[in-house]
Each structure stands twice: as structure tokens, then as C-alpha cells.
Structure 1
Amino acid sequence: MILENDFSFFDWEYLQLEKPTDIYVKKLSNMKEQFIDNSVVLKILSSADLVLYKVEKFEPEKGKGNLIFSVTSLYPGTVGREYFFTQGHYHQNDFAEIYICLKGKGLLLLKDKNNEQVYNFEKGSISHINSNFAHRVVNIGDEMLKFISVYNVDAGFDYEKVIKEGGFSTKIVKSENSKSYKIETL
């Protein structure tokens, strides 16, 4: 049976879902432990709680094989020298994910238990993310970075596994001349 809530509309001008089934926002306070410089985080939080990114989701009926389609809007900016990033997660279940970059310039970080890799992620990039990798996107540009993700409704997010492994050791920071980025490893 075809259900009405199996359909949505994507606005190509504004790069957003017209009727998302869910919207969530990640702020600095939600991810404060993941940034390098805790003193900068606390200073910022004493006056404001920055929005780092927003996710609009279209989720059809739960059911085997159904897919979630979401649009992430990752704001430009830094906390100290470190660029804004998404929280980063593994999947709880063995499902891959597709990322399609619609706008902006960023980097895609992939991590497993032993290694981390960094890939360019900018308008037009399409990335197939293997189910064995944790993944995070970093906005290194001056504009909003927007990307689509498509994944199975049963994938689930596992943020705790990333934390238990010590988080992402690869950090993307502004270079000394502030005109480009630099990759640092903790």
C-alpha cells in the first residue's frame, strides 16, 4: 500500500525539505566535550549557546528496507581555531549511508577503531560511507554547508562507541594565517 507520508518535497532553491517529519538542532552545549579548547568553549557558553548545525529529516513509515532522507545545514564558524563539525557517529546496525553535498566546502572524516581518513567534501561530492566507519563532516568554508544523507530506518546512531574509542583524534583547525585549514592529530 502506498501511504501519503511516503512523499515529501525538496525545495531546490532553498535546499531544504518542505515538510520534514522531524527537525533537530545541535548546539555547542550538546558537543562541548568534543572541542579541543575547553576554556574557549566555556567562555562562549557563558554568553551564548551557538547553533552548530540543524538536521531536517523525512522518515517514512518504519519498516524493513525503508530509507530516511535528511538535509543537514552545518553553519560556518570556529570554536577557537577549530572549525564547526557534526557530532559524528557509527551506526548501531550494519547499514551504510550516502552523503551528497549540495552547497559549501568541507571535509568528511571517516574513522574506524584503528584509523582515521580525511576527504574533501564540497558541492557535488557524493560519498558512500561503509557501515564500519564513524563519520563526521567539518565546514571549512565561509558559507553554510548543506548535504543530503540517505540511510536505512534501522541504522541507528551510536555516539557512545565514538566516545569509548576516544573520539575523533583528527581535528581541523584554522592555519596560522587564517586563510586555510590545517589537519592536527591529537
Structure 2
Amino acid sequence: MEIRKKPEIRFLNDMKRVVYDQEWLKKTANFEIYYMYRGIKTKGELRYDITEIKTKMLGKEFPKTKGHEHLKTFQEVYKVLKGKAIFLFQKYRNKTIEDVYAVRAKIGAIVIVPPYYGHITINASKEELKIANWISKKCKNSYNLFEKRQGACYYYTRSGWIKNKNYKKVPKLRFKKSLKKMPKNLDFLAPH
């Protein structure tokens, strides 16, 4: 699919508050990390987006999205179109991380963001990552927690997973499998 929309570009300067390697950040010039093409198509209350995450490392850390939480109970469905992704999900309630898990996903894999989980997407390979998502047009995102705590509760680095010390208590990271097929009915993405 050829994308004819102009992307919203996320630069390193936009990500300063969520990068693990702050020493590297001080010495590095601004560059493009990922592109977001929003509203490529719509279906009723839903919007279809594509995100392309480049391969340039963020110091010791693999390239990633900034991370956000959905306001209210909105869910989201992702499909990997190119490359290999790791989706990290964290449930933050009562000033603590109640749950955290990751999903490794290859081309064709489907991943659902459950209600009340913040999430980031990590490009875990040496090729550009391209993912598509369906989400409600009414969904609003909050980046506050990720900016306040300098990212998600785990960072994925060349040395593996590292706990983010800006969170008081972080459960052990567990892994779940992706889905093989897109749900036939996406009505659950547009709560009434």
C-alpha cells in the first residue's frame, strides 16, 4: 500500500524524556526515529494508521515509540507489516505497576492493546519496522507517565532488558504470544 499522507515525525528531541541512555543523549544531534501516518483510512468509528520505526539505536537502547496510555478503556489492534517488533505493555494503577508483559511479533502477527495498559513498540531488528493499527477516532493518548518516569518500566537494550529505576516496584517481565489472525469484528475498539 502506497501511503499518500504526510507523516507526523517523532524526532530524538521529542523523545528526550523517555530515553534510557541520557549520557549518549547529551552528545547526540537530533534525528528522525519514527513516522506516524494517521487516518490512512477509516471504517465507521475506527481509524487506520501506519507507523514506521527506523533502525538507528538510541545509544544502548533499541529504537522505540515514545509510549502512551489510552484515556478511558480504549483498546487498539496492531499488525506487523515489516520487520520484527516487541510490544511492551504495562498496567499502572494506584501509583504502582501492577502488571507488565511483552509480545514478540513478526510479519503478519496481530497484537491487541488491552484496556488500562500503557504501551510502547520497539524495533528489535536491523531493518525498518512497519506496523499498522486500528483504533477508535475518539481515543485520546496521555504521554505523562512515560515522560515523568523517563520511559516504560523496562528498557530493551543491547544487553537485554533493564528495569527502569524511576518506578518504585516493577514486576518480573513476562511474555505472551501474538495472535495469528485479525479479529473479524473490531467493534470492541469503539466503546459506547
TM class by shorter chain equals 0.7 to 0.9
Q: CA RMSD in A?
A: 2.0
- Structure 2 residues without counterparts, runs of 5 or longer: 165-192
Q: Give the share of equivalent positions with the same residue, in percent.
A: 22
- Structure index of larger Rg: 1
Q: Give yes or no for contact 2:9–2:35 (8 Å, CA) kept in 1.
A: yes
Shift of 1:23: 2.2
Cα deviation, residue 165, structure 1: 5.8
Quickly say closer, same or farther: Cα 1:162–1:40, change in 2 above 3 A: closer
TM-score if structure 2 supplies the norm length? Answer: 0.76
Measured after TM superposition, the shift of residue 144 of structure 1 is 0.4
Residue-by-residue CA offset, 1:124-163 (whole Å, 9 max, x unaligned): 1101111211111001101100000110011111111434
Query: Does residue 75 in structure 1 map to residue 18 in structure 2?
Result: no
Instruction: Tell me how far apart the structure 2 counterparts of residues 124 and 54 of structure 1 sit (CA, whole Å).
Output: 20
1:88 to 34, 48, 67: 67
Question: Please, which of 12, 19, 24 is the counterpart of residue 28 of structure 1?
Answer: 12
Deviations 1:59-87 (A, max 9, x none): 678xxx61111000000121221011001
Instruction: State whether residues 171 and 183 of structure 1, in contact with CA within 8 Å, keep that contact through their aligned partners in structure 2.
Output: yes
Q: Aligned pair in 2 of structure 1 residues 28, 131: CA closer, same or farther (>3 Å)?
A: same
In the TM superposition, what is the alpha-carbon distance from 1:166 to its structure 2 partner? Answer: 6.0
C-alpha distance in structure 2 between counterparts of 1:156 and 1:124, whole Å = 26
Q: Partner of 1:153 in structure 2?
A: 137
How many residue pairs get aligned? The number is 159
Moved over 6 A (4+): none
> Aligned residue for 1:137?
121
Against the structure 1 CA distance between its residues 78 and 118, is the aligned structure 2 distance closer, same or farther, given a 3 Å change threshold? same
Instruction: Report whether the alignment pairs 1:53 with 2:34.
Output: yes
State the one-letter code of the partner of 2:85.
Answer: G
